[in-house]
Structure 1
Amino acid sequence: MSKQAANWSPYDNNGGSCVAIAGIDYCVIAADTRMSNGYSILTREYSKICNLADKSLMASSGFQADVKALQKFLAARHLGCVYTYDAVGSYERVGYGCQGSGSTLIMPFLDNQLKSPSPLLLPAQDAVTPLSETEAVDLVKTCFASATERDIYTGDKLEIVVLNADGIRREYMELRKD
Protein backbone atom coordinates (compact mmCIF):
# COMPACT_ATOMS: atom_id res chain seq x y z
CA MET A 1 0.00 0.00 0.00
CA SER A 2 1.44 3.40 -0.94
CA LYS A 3 1.13 6.57 1.11
CA GLN A 4 -0.90 9.47 -0.34
CA ALA A 5 0.96 12.66 -1.25
CA ALA A 6 0.70 15.40 1.39
CA ASN A 7 -1.06 17.79 -0.99
CA TRP A 8 -3.60 15.26 -2.27
CA SER A 9 -7.22 16.39 -2.15
CA PRO A 10 -10.43 14.57 -3.07
CA TYR A 11 -11.81 17.83 -4.48
CA ASP A 12 -11.25 19.20 -7.95
CA ASN A 13 -12.25 22.49 -9.56
CA ASN A 14 -13.92 21.62 -12.85
CA GLY A 15 -13.96 25.29 -13.87
CA GLY A 16 -16.58 27.16 -15.81
CA SER A 17 -18.64 30.23 -15.06
CA CYS A 18 -22.29 31.03 -14.47
CA VAL A 19 -24.30 34.25 -14.20
CA ALA A 20 -27.83 35.02 -12.99
CA ILE A 21 -29.71 38.30 -13.43
CA ALA A 22 -33.11 38.84 -11.81
CA GLY A 23 -35.54 41.34 -13.31
CA ILE A 24 -38.98 42.43 -12.22
CA ASP A 25 -40.77 39.63 -14.10
CA TYR A 26 -37.97 37.36 -15.31
CA CYS A 27 -34.70 35.69 -14.43
CA VAL A 28 -31.85 35.07 -16.89
CA ILE A 29 -29.44 32.27 -15.99
CA ALA A 30 -26.41 31.43 -18.11
CA ALA A 31 -23.38 29.14 -17.94
CA ASP A 32 -20.73 27.88 -20.30
CA THR A 33 -20.61 24.18 -21.22
CA ARG A 34 -16.89 23.44 -20.73
CA MET A 35 -15.86 21.04 -17.94
CA SER A 36 -12.13 20.85 -17.34
CA ASN A 37 -9.53 19.40 -15.01
CA GLY A 38 -6.37 21.49 -14.93
CA TYR A 39 -5.37 22.13 -18.54
CA SER A 40 -7.44 19.18 -19.82
CA ILE A 41 -10.92 19.69 -21.25
CA LEU A 42 -13.07 16.77 -20.08
CA THR A 43 -16.08 17.74 -22.21
CA ARG A 44 -17.30 20.72 -24.22
CA GLU A 45 -21.01 19.85 -23.83
CA TYR A 46 -21.69 19.78 -20.04
CA SER A 47 -24.74 21.76 -18.90
CA LYS A 48 -24.19 23.59 -15.61
CA ILE A 49 -27.88 24.57 -15.42
CA CYS A 50 -30.21 22.13 -13.69
CA ASN A 51 -34.04 22.13 -13.53
CA LEU A 52 -35.00 21.56 -9.89
CA ALA A 53 -38.76 21.94 -10.45
CA ASP A 54 -41.14 23.41 -13.05
CA LYS A 55 -39.96 26.98 -12.45
CA SER A 56 -36.88 26.44 -10.34
CA LEU A 57 -33.38 26.34 -11.81
CA MET A 58 -29.85 26.14 -10.45
CA ALA A 59 -26.63 27.17 -12.19
CA SER A 60 -23.29 26.18 -10.70
CA SER A 61 -19.62 25.76 -11.39
CA GLY A 62 -16.65 24.31 -9.56
CA PHE A 63 -16.44 20.77 -8.15
CA GLN A 64 -19.22 18.95 -10.01
CA ALA A 65 -19.62 16.08 -7.51
CA ASP A 66 -20.63 18.58 -4.79
CA VAL A 67 -22.83 20.43 -7.27
CA LYS A 68 -24.72 17.23 -8.16
CA ALA A 69 -25.21 16.42 -4.46
CA LEU A 70 -26.62 19.92 -3.81
CA GLN A 71 -28.91 19.67 -6.87
CA LYS A 72 -30.35 16.38 -5.60
CA PHE A 73 -30.83 17.82 -2.10
CA LEU A 74 -32.64 20.94 -3.35
CA ALA A 75 -34.77 19.03 -5.87
CA ALA A 76 -35.91 16.65 -3.14
CA ARG A 77 -36.95 19.55 -0.89
CA HIS A 78 -38.47 21.69 -3.68
CA LEU A 79 -36.61 24.80 -2.51
CA GLY A 80 -35.81 27.52 -5.00
CA CYS A 81 -34.88 31.21 -5.00
CA VAL A 82 -32.26 33.44 -6.57
CA TYR A 83 -29.38 33.54 -4.11
CA THR A 84 -25.61 33.62 -4.25
CA TYR A 85 -23.51 31.72 -1.74
CA ASP A 86 -19.89 30.98 -0.98
CA ALA A 87 -18.00 27.90 0.17
CA VAL A 88 -18.26 28.74 3.89
CA GLY A 89 -22.05 28.89 3.74
CA SER A 90 -22.75 32.62 3.58
CA TYR A 91 -25.64 33.51 1.29
CA GLU A 92 -27.73 36.49 0.28
CA ARG A 93 -30.51 37.36 -2.12
CA VAL A 94 -29.18 39.48 -4.96
CA GLY A 95 -30.35 41.08 -8.20
CA TYR A 96 -27.41 39.55 -10.07
CA GLY A 97 -24.46 37.33 -9.33
CA CYS A 98 -21.62 35.37 -10.83
CA GLN A 99 -19.70 32.29 -9.72
CA GLY A 100 -16.87 30.26 -11.15
CA SER A 101 -13.47 30.66 -12.72
CA GLY A 102 -14.54 33.63 -14.84
CA SER A 103 -16.24 35.49 -11.98
CA THR A 104 -13.25 37.78 -11.39
CA LEU A 105 -13.66 38.97 -14.98
CA ILE A 106 -17.47 39.04 -15.18
CA MET A 107 -18.48 40.48 -11.78
CA PRO A 108 -16.71 43.86 -12.16
CA PHE A 109 -18.39 44.27 -15.56
CA LEU A 110 -21.81 43.46 -14.08
CA ASP A 111 -21.17 45.91 -11.22
CA ASN A 112 -20.25 48.59 -13.74
CA GLN A 113 -23.38 48.02 -15.82
CA LEU A 114 -25.93 47.37 -13.07
CA LYS A 115 -24.91 49.38 -10.00
CA SER A 116 -24.97 53.10 -9.38
CA PRO A 117 -21.52 54.72 -9.69
CA SER A 118 -21.89 55.79 -6.04
CA PRO A 119 -24.02 54.00 -3.45
CA LEU A 120 -24.44 57.40 -1.76
CA LEU A 121 -26.19 58.82 -4.83
CA LEU A 122 -28.51 55.97 -5.73
CA PRO A 123 -28.35 52.61 -3.94
CA ALA A 124 -28.76 49.55 -6.12
CA GLN A 125 -31.95 47.54 -5.68
CA ASP A 126 -31.21 44.28 -3.92
CA ALA A 127 -33.57 41.79 -5.49
CA VAL A 128 -34.04 42.93 -9.09
CA THR A 129 -32.22 44.81 -11.85
CA PRO A 130 -33.69 47.59 -14.02
CA LEU A 131 -32.93 45.80 -17.32
CA SER A 132 -35.50 44.41 -19.69
CA GLU A 133 -35.33 40.68 -20.41
CA THR A 134 -33.70 41.30 -23.80
CA GLU A 135 -31.13 43.69 -22.31
CA ALA A 136 -30.24 41.12 -19.64
CA VAL A 137 -29.70 38.38 -22.24
CA ASP A 138 -27.52 40.71 -24.33
CA LEU A 139 -25.50 41.66 -21.24
CA VAL A 140 -24.91 38.00 -20.38
CA LYS A 141 -23.72 37.30 -23.94
CA THR A 142 -21.27 40.21 -23.75
CA CYS A 143 -19.98 39.06 -20.34
CA PHE A 144 -19.22 35.54 -21.53
CA ALA A 145 -17.75 36.64 -24.87
CA SER A 146 -15.29 38.78 -22.89
CA ALA A 147 -14.54 36.20 -20.19
CA THR A 148 -13.68 33.46 -22.69
CA GLU A 149 -10.92 35.66 -24.07
CA ARG A 150 -9.04 35.53 -20.74
CA ASP A 151 -10.27 32.48 -18.78
CA ILE A 152 -9.13 29.11 -20.13
CA TYR A 153 -11.70 27.27 -17.98
CA THR A 154 -14.70 29.08 -19.52
CA GLY A 155 -15.69 28.48 -23.12
CA ASP A 156 -17.07 26.28 -25.90
CA LYS A 157 -20.78 27.15 -25.73
CA LEU A 158 -23.02 29.44 -23.68
CA GLU A 159 -26.33 28.04 -22.46
CA ILE A 160 -28.84 30.77 -21.58
CA VAL A 161 -32.08 29.96 -19.79
CA VAL A 162 -34.81 32.59 -19.42
CA LEU A 163 -37.44 31.94 -16.76
CA ASN A 164 -40.57 34.11 -16.88
CA ALA A 165 -44.37 33.88 -16.58
CA ASP A 166 -44.54 32.07 -19.93
CA GLY A 167 -42.21 29.30 -18.72
CA ILE A 168 -38.63 28.37 -19.52
CA ARG A 169 -36.83 29.20 -22.78
CA ARG A 170 -33.30 28.05 -23.71
CA GLU A 171 -30.89 29.47 -26.25
CA TYR A 172 -27.25 28.81 -27.05
CA MET A 173 -24.32 30.87 -28.29
CA GLU A 174 -20.97 29.54 -29.48
CA LEU A 175 -17.91 30.65 -27.48
CA ARG A 176 -14.16 30.20 -27.98
CA LYS A 177 -13.04 26.59 -28.20
CA ASP A 178 -9.35 26.93 -27.35
Structure 2
Amino acid sequence: MTKQQANWSPYDNNGGSCVAIAGADYCVIAADTRMSTGYSILTREYSKICKLADKSVMASSGFQADVKALQKLLAARHLIYQHQHNKQMSCPAMAQLLSNTLYYKRFFPYYSFNVLGGLDNEGKGCVFTYDAVGSYERVGYSSQGSGSTLIMPFLDNQLKSPSPLLLPAQDAVTPLSEAEAVDLVKTVFASATERDIYTGDKLEIVILNADGIRREYMELRKD
Protein backbone atom coordinates (compact mmCIF):
# COMPACT_ATOMS: atom_id res chain seq x y z
CA MET A 1 0.00 0.00 0.00
CA THR A 2 1.42 3.39 -0.96
CA LYS A 3 1.68 6.38 1.36
CA GLN A 4 -1.21 8.09 -0.46
CA GLN A 5 -3.44 5.05 0.11
CA ALA A 6 -2.44 4.65 3.76
CA ASN A 7 -3.35 8.27 4.57
CA TRP A 8 -6.87 7.97 3.16
CA SER A 9 -9.60 9.46 5.36
CA PRO A 10 -13.32 8.57 5.24
CA TYR A 11 -14.06 12.29 4.85
CA ASP A 12 -11.73 12.66 1.86
CA ASN A 13 -14.30 11.67 -0.75
CA ASN A 14 -12.56 13.70 -3.39
CA GLY A 15 -8.77 13.53 -3.06
CA GLY A 16 -7.17 14.61 -6.29
CA SER A 17 -4.79 17.48 -6.86
CA CYS A 18 -4.93 21.22 -7.49
CA VAL A 19 -2.15 23.46 -8.82
CA ALA A 20 -1.87 27.21 -9.39
CA ILE A 21 0.98 29.18 -10.99
CA ALA A 22 1.21 33.00 -11.12
CA GLY A 23 2.99 34.82 -13.94
CA ALA A 24 3.75 38.43 -14.79
CA ASP A 25 0.37 38.96 -16.49
CA TYR A 26 -1.48 35.65 -16.11
CA CYS A 27 -2.50 32.95 -13.65
CA VAL A 28 -2.96 29.25 -14.36
CA ILE A 29 -5.17 27.12 -12.09
CA ALA A 30 -5.58 23.40 -12.74
CA ALA A 31 -7.16 20.34 -11.14
CA ASP A 32 -8.02 16.80 -12.12
CA THR A 33 -11.67 15.73 -12.47
CA ARG A 34 -11.68 12.44 -10.53
CA MET A 35 -13.84 12.14 -7.41
CA SER A 36 -13.24 8.97 -5.46
CA THR A 37 -13.63 7.26 -2.10
CA GLY A 38 -10.84 4.81 -1.41
CA TYR A 39 -10.60 2.54 -4.44
CA SER A 40 -14.08 3.51 -5.72
CA ILE A 41 -14.27 6.19 -8.41
CA LEU A 42 -17.58 8.03 -7.95
CA THR A 43 -17.27 10.13 -11.11
CA ARG A 44 -14.59 10.95 -13.67
CA GLU A 45 -16.09 14.32 -14.69
CA TYR A 46 -16.18 16.41 -11.50
CA SER A 47 -14.80 19.96 -11.70
CA LYS A 48 -12.86 21.08 -8.62
CA ILE A 49 -12.43 24.64 -9.92
CA CYS A 50 -14.88 27.40 -8.98
CA LYS A 51 -15.00 30.93 -10.42
CA LEU A 52 -15.55 33.32 -7.51
CA ALA A 53 -15.19 36.61 -9.44
CA ASP A 54 -14.05 37.81 -12.87
CA LYS A 55 -10.42 37.78 -11.67
CA SER A 56 -10.55 35.13 -8.93
CA VAL A 57 -10.72 31.36 -9.32
CA MET A 58 -10.49 28.78 -6.52
CA ALA A 59 -9.52 25.11 -6.77
CA SER A 60 -10.37 22.88 -3.81
CA SER A 61 -9.58 19.38 -2.64
CA GLY A 62 -11.13 17.58 0.31
CA PHE A 63 -14.60 16.67 1.56
CA GLN A 64 -17.00 17.79 -1.16
CA ALA A 65 -19.95 18.70 1.10
CA ASP A 66 -17.69 21.16 2.93
CA VAL A 67 -16.22 22.47 -0.34
CA LYS A 68 -19.71 23.16 -1.74
CA ALA A 69 -20.82 24.86 1.49
CA LEU A 70 -17.72 27.05 1.41
CA GLN A 71 -18.27 28.00 -2.25
CA LYS A 72 -21.92 28.94 -1.60
CA LEU A 73 -20.96 31.09 1.40
CA LEU A 74 -18.24 32.91 -0.56
CA ALA A 75 -20.65 33.52 -3.45
CA ALA A 76 -23.24 35.00 -1.07
CA ARG A 77 -20.70 37.30 0.61
CA HIS A 78 -19.34 38.39 -2.75
CA LEU A 79 -22.89 39.28 -3.88
CA ILE A 80 -23.36 41.42 -0.76
CA TYR A 81 -20.02 43.13 -1.45
CA GLN A 82 -21.09 43.92 -5.02
CA HIS A 83 -24.35 45.48 -3.83
CA GLN A 84 -22.54 47.57 -1.23
CA HIS A 85 -19.57 48.72 -3.36
CA ASN A 86 -20.92 48.46 -6.91
CA LYS A 87 -17.87 46.48 -8.06
CA GLN A 88 -16.42 42.99 -7.86
CA MET A 89 -13.82 41.93 -5.32
CA SER A 90 -10.20 41.96 -6.35
CA CYS A 91 -8.29 38.70 -5.99
CA PRO A 92 -6.33 39.85 -2.87
CA ALA A 93 -9.63 40.94 -1.26
CA MET A 94 -11.19 37.57 -2.07
CA ALA A 95 -8.10 35.90 -0.57
CA GLN A 96 -8.65 37.75 2.70
CA LEU A 97 -12.37 36.88 2.68
CA LEU A 98 -11.56 33.19 2.20
CA SER A 99 -9.04 33.34 5.06
CA ASN A 100 -11.58 35.00 7.38
CA THR A 101 -14.28 32.51 6.41
CA LEU A 102 -12.06 29.50 7.13
CA TYR A 103 -10.73 30.97 10.39
CA TYR A 104 -14.26 31.68 11.63
CA LYS A 105 -14.90 27.92 11.44
CA ARG A 106 -11.55 26.94 12.95
CA PHE A 107 -13.08 24.94 15.86
CA PHE A 108 -15.17 22.87 13.42
CA PRO A 109 -13.30 23.53 10.20
CA TYR A 110 -14.28 23.01 6.61
CA TYR A 111 -12.44 19.88 5.46
CA SER A 112 -11.20 21.63 2.34
CA PHE A 113 -7.75 22.58 1.13
CA ASN A 114 -7.76 25.47 -1.31
CA VAL A 115 -5.62 27.41 -3.73
CA LEU A 116 -6.90 30.76 -4.95
CA GLY A 117 -5.52 32.27 -8.14
CA GLY A 118 -6.21 35.33 -10.23
CA LEU A 119 -5.00 38.81 -11.13
CA ASP A 120 -4.33 41.62 -8.67
CA ASN A 121 -5.10 45.32 -9.12
CA GLU A 122 -1.91 45.80 -11.17
CA GLY A 123 -2.78 42.95 -13.55
CA LYS A 124 -0.10 40.64 -12.12
CA GLY A 125 -0.81 37.00 -11.47
CA CYS A 126 -1.30 36.06 -7.84
CA VAL A 127 -1.66 32.74 -6.03
CA PHE A 128 -2.75 32.25 -2.42
CA THR A 129 -2.39 28.91 -0.67
CA TYR A 130 -4.35 27.86 2.45
CA ASP A 131 -4.56 25.33 5.21
CA ALA A 132 -7.90 24.14 6.60
CA VAL A 133 -8.19 26.90 9.24
CA GLY A 134 -7.42 29.93 7.10
CA SER A 135 -3.68 30.52 7.38
CA TYR A 136 -2.63 31.76 3.94
CA GLU A 137 0.30 33.13 1.99
CA ARG A 138 0.79 34.79 -1.38
CA VAL A 139 3.18 32.66 -3.41
CA GLY A 140 4.30 32.21 -7.00
CA TYR A 141 2.92 28.67 -7.22
CA SER A 142 1.25 26.12 -5.00
CA SER A 143 -0.40 22.70 -4.91
CA GLN A 144 -3.04 21.13 -2.65
CA GLY A 145 -4.64 17.71 -2.40
CA SER A 146 -3.51 14.12 -2.22
CA GLY A 147 -1.00 14.58 -5.05
CA SER A 148 0.61 17.73 -3.65
CA THR A 149 3.44 15.81 -1.98
CA LEU A 150 4.43 14.58 -5.44
CA ILE A 151 3.81 17.84 -7.31
CA MET A 152 5.42 20.44 -5.02
CA PRO A 153 9.00 19.05 -5.22
CA PHE A 154 8.67 19.09 -9.02
CA LEU A 155 7.49 22.73 -9.00
CA ASP A 156 10.20 23.71 -6.50
CA ASN A 157 12.83 22.22 -8.75
CA GLN A 158 11.53 24.02 -11.85
CA LEU A 159 10.47 27.40 -10.44
CA LYS A 160 12.49 28.07 -7.24
CA SER A 161 10.27 30.75 -5.75
CA PRO A 162 12.31 33.49 -4.00
CA SER A 163 12.40 33.46 -0.22
CA PRO A 164 10.08 36.02 1.44
CA LEU A 165 13.03 36.90 3.70
CA LEU A 166 15.07 38.36 0.84
CA LEU A 167 15.77 42.09 1.02
CA PRO A 168 14.86 43.94 -1.04
CA ALA A 169 11.69 41.89 -1.53
CA GLN A 170 11.36 40.12 -4.86
CA ASP A 171 8.21 39.43 -6.86
CA ALA A 172 6.66 36.04 -6.14
CA VAL A 173 5.56 35.62 -9.77
CA THR A 174 7.23 32.91 -11.80
CA PRO A 175 9.49 33.71 -14.79
CA LEU A 176 7.66 31.39 -17.19
CA SER A 177 5.57 32.51 -20.12
CA GLU A 178 1.90 31.55 -20.14
CA ALA A 179 2.41 28.69 -22.62
CA GLU A 180 5.37 27.35 -20.61
CA ALA A 181 3.32 27.42 -17.40
CA VAL A 182 0.49 25.47 -19.04
CA ASP A 183 2.98 22.89 -20.35
CA LEU A 184 4.53 22.57 -16.87
CA VAL A 185 1.11 21.99 -15.30
CA LYS A 186 0.38 19.23 -17.82
CA THR A 187 3.73 17.62 -17.05
CA VAL A 188 3.32 17.62 -13.26
CA PHE A 189 -0.18 16.11 -13.49
CA ALA A 190 0.97 13.41 -15.90
CA SER A 191 3.65 12.56 -13.34
CA ALA A 192 1.38 12.66 -10.27
CA THR A 193 -1.23 10.47 -11.97
CA GLU A 194 1.31 7.65 -12.14
CA ARG A 195 1.70 7.54 -8.34
CA ASP A 196 -1.51 8.89 -6.74
CA ILE A 197 -4.66 6.75 -7.00
CA TYR A 198 -6.91 9.77 -6.31
CA THR A 199 -5.60 11.82 -9.26
CA GLY A 200 -6.52 11.02 -12.82
CA ASP A 201 -9.09 10.79 -15.63
CA LYS A 202 -8.93 14.36 -16.99
CA LEU A 203 -7.07 17.60 -16.31
CA GLU A 204 -8.99 20.90 -16.30
CA ILE A 205 -6.84 24.02 -16.78
CA VAL A 206 -8.17 27.56 -16.29
CA ILE A 207 -6.05 30.46 -17.59
CA LEU A 208 -6.74 34.03 -16.45
CA ASN A 209 -5.20 37.01 -18.23
CA ALA A 210 -6.16 40.52 -19.39
CA ASP A 211 -8.36 39.01 -22.11
CA GLY A 212 -10.49 37.07 -19.60
CA ILE A 213 -10.78 33.39 -18.67
CA ARG A 214 -10.33 30.37 -20.89
CA ARG A 215 -10.26 26.62 -20.25
CA GLU A 216 -8.20 23.76 -21.62
CA TYR A 217 -8.49 20.02 -21.02
CA MET A 218 -6.09 17.09 -21.20
CA GLU A 219 -6.79 13.39 -20.78
CA LEU A 220 -5.02 11.61 -17.91
CA ARG A 221 -4.73 7.96 -16.93
CA LYS A 222 -8.06 6.35 -16.09
CA ASP A 223 -6.81 3.45 -13.99
**Fold conserved (TM > 0.5)?**
yes
- Percent identity (aligned): 93
Q: Give per-residue Cα distances to partners, 1:100-144, cap 9 Å, x unaligned.
A: 010000000000000069999999945311111011000000000
- Rounded Cα–Cα distance in structure 2 between residues aligned with 1:2 and 1:131: 33
In the TM superposition, residue 83 of structure 1 has moved relative to its aligned partner by 1.0
Q: Give per-residue Cα distances to partners, 1:136-175, cap 9 Å, x unaligned.
A: 0000000000000000000000000000000001010000
Q: Give per-residue Cα distances to partners, 1:26-62, cap 9 Å, x unaligned.
A: 0000000000011100000000011112222111111
In structure 2, the gaps of 5 or more residues are 80-124
In the TM superposition, residue 176 of structure 1 has moved relative to its aligned partner by 0.2
In the TM superposition, residue 64 of structure 1 has moved relative to its aligned partner by 1.1
Question: Which is further off, 146-155 or 48-57?
Answer: 48-57
Give the total of aligned pairs: 178
User: Pairwise CA RMSD of aligned residues?
Assistant: 5.7
- Rounded Cα–Cα distance in structure 2 between residues aligned with 1:162 and 1:9: 31
In the TM superposition, residue 94 of structure 1 has moved relative to its aligned partner by 0.9
**Aligned pair in 2 of structure 1 residues 164, 148: CA closer, same or farther (>3 Å)?**
same
Could you state the TM-score of these two structures normalised by the residue count of structure 1? 0.86
- Rounded Cα–Cα distance in structure 2 between residues aligned with 1:5 and 1:76: 36
**Aligned pair in 2 of structure 1 residues 38, 10: CA closer, same or farther (>3 Å)?**
closer
In the TM superposition, residue 9 of structure 1 has moved relative to its aligned partner by 8.6
Mapped contact 1:116–1:123 kept (Cα < 8 A): no
- Rounded Cα–Cα distance in structure 2 between residues aligned with 1:148 and 1:5: 13
In structure 1, the gaps of 5 or more residues are none
Q: Which residue is equivalent to 2:222?
A: 177
1:75 matches 2:47: no
**Aligned pair in 2 of structure 1 residues 125, 96: CA closer, same or farther (>3 Å)?**
farther
**Aligned pair in 2 of structure 1 residues 120, 16: CA closer, same or farther (>3 Å)?**
same
Mapped contact 1:12–1:62 kept (Cα < 8 A): yes
Q: Which residue is equivalent to 2:120?
A: none
Mapped contact 2:36–2:42 kept (Cα < 8 A): yes
Secondary structure of 1:82's match? strand
Mapped contact 2:22–2:173 kept (Cα < 8 A): yes
Give the helix-richer structure, 1 or 2. 2
**Aligned pair in 2 of structure 1 residues 123, 142: CA closer, same or farther (>3 Å)?**
farther
**Aligned pair in 2 of structure 1 residues 7, 144: CA closer, same or farther (>3 Å)?**
closer
